[in-house]
Structure 1
Amino acid sequence: MGKKEFEASIASGGHHRLAQMIGEWEGTFRLWFQPDHVACEAPQRGTIRGILDGRFLLHEYRSRFGDEPIEGVAIYGLHLDDNAYESAWVESFGTGTSIMFSAGPAASEHFNVLGSYGDGQGGPRWDWRTEIEQPDPDQLVITMTNISPQGEAARAVEVRYRRVANTGL
């Protein structure tokens, strides 16, 4: 990635679109273990800020599963050379002691990446899709989909955020 390409992306390209997510957010976290049955619904607060001169976004958040607090951190980016979205995600609830690395083509207007995780027993890996859409400047919808080794997809997590402070824009 050259400096000129990055500056163009910050000014009016993919990095500019990602920067629209910078801010303080609050909303609702929903978790599914089985289709059509919400296992948990709880408030969630998050902060998304630009890091490394806008190359990446850092998303830090807190929620709950019953009485258990959940804390998570994700780094989101746009790899200009590969024209791909990328992320690294860790969470006190969902990822255990692993870091989930995900990537996906930057062909669509919204952030869409695919990672995978093991079942902890040596079985085949499962896929995990993370999509972030911003229907308007003050809303974010983060959807996570669990995909079995056989390719069956099921909604796993949905976070619906609304902006509570306009920072960094």
Structure 2
Amino acid sequence: MAKSKFEQSLEDGAHQQIKSLVGSWKGTSKTWFEKDVLVDESPTEAEISSILDCRFISYDYRSSLERKPLAGKMIIGFDIPYQKFTFSWIDSFHMGTQIMQATGDATENGFSILGSWGNPEYGDQLFGWRTELQIISNDEIVFLAYNIMPGEEETKALETILTRVI
């Protein structure tokens, strides 16, 4: 019997790639609010777990920003029909009470996805937010995030380097 597209992806495709991330991670997060001005560097702990037989993964992290605790969650998946990586992201700092949806393409060693966020206090235009995952090895990953102000070039906002604990 032929394998389903999901079974094939889980064996040697995008779902195999995200499944390989399941585990416990520790590292460091850096935050920038302005170009080239590092605001904070804090320890980070993360747990990546499988959801629905690895159709998705949950990336749950805890860190701090300027000594104030923060936590977040990304539900990450790969949309087989559209051949795109996707995520939904919430956290206690950047997103407030919003949920960001993002989608994008595979890269050589992970993905690059683009979402947007806004607030009527800042006007009608939405800000862009590009997130990259770089899988350096089985035991090291890097999340990078870039803020895109309306009409401006993107600037690095976050860099989280994680090493597998378990």
With normalisation by structure 1, the TM-score equals 0.92
Find the residue that maps to 1:6 and give its secondary structure: helix
The equivalent of 2:6 in structure 1 is 6
Whole-Å separation in 2 of the counterparts to 1:76 and 1:50? 10
The equivalent of 2:125 in structure 1 is 124
For residues 10-40 of structure 1, give each alpha carbon's deviation from its aligned partner in whole angstroms, at most 9, with x where no partner exists: 0111100111111100000100011111101
The Cα of 1:105 is off from its aligned counterpart by 2.6
Structure 2 counterpart of 1:79, which letter?
D
CA contact (8 A) 1:85 1:104 kept: yes
CA contact (8 A) 1:78 1:106 kept: no
Pairing of 1:100-115 with structure 2 (within 5 A): 100-106=100-106, 108-115=108-115
Structure 2 counterpart of 1:130, which letter?
T
Structure 2 counterpart of 1:138, which letter?
D
Whole-Å separation in 1 of the counterparts to 2:29 and 2:110? 20
The Cα of 1:109 is off from its aligned counterpart by 3.9
| Identity in percent | 35
Say if 2:50 is the partner of 1:63.
no
For residues 68-98 of structure 1, give each alpha carbon's deviation from its aligned partner in whole angstroms, at most 9, with x where no partner exists: 1101010000000000000000000110100
With normalisation by structure 2, the TM-score equals 0.94
The Cα of 1:119 is off from its aligned counterpart by 3.7
CA contact (8 A) 2:21 2:48 kept: yes
Runs of 4+ deviating beyond 6 Å: none
CA contact (8 A) 2:9 2:15 kept: yes
Distance 1:28-1:71 versus aligned 2 partners, 3 A rule? same
Whole-Å separation in 1 of the counterparts to 2:12 and 2:96? 37
CA RMSD of aligned residues (A): 1.5
Find the residue that maps to 1:15 and give its secondary structure: helix
Structure 2 counterpart of 1:140, which letter?
I
Pairing of 1:40-59 with structure 2 (within 5 A): 40-59=40-59
Residues paired across the two proteins, number: 164
Structure 1 counterpart of 2:146, which letter?
T
138-147 or 66-75, which moves further after superposition? 66-75
The equivalent of 1:133 in structure 2 is 134
The equivalent of 1:97 in structure 2 is 97
Distance 1:70-1:89 versus aligned 2 partners, 3 A rule? same
Structure 1 counterpart of 2:51, which letter?
I
Distance 1:136-1:16 versus aligned 2 partners, 3 A rule? same
Find the residue that maps to 1:10 and give its secondary structure: helix
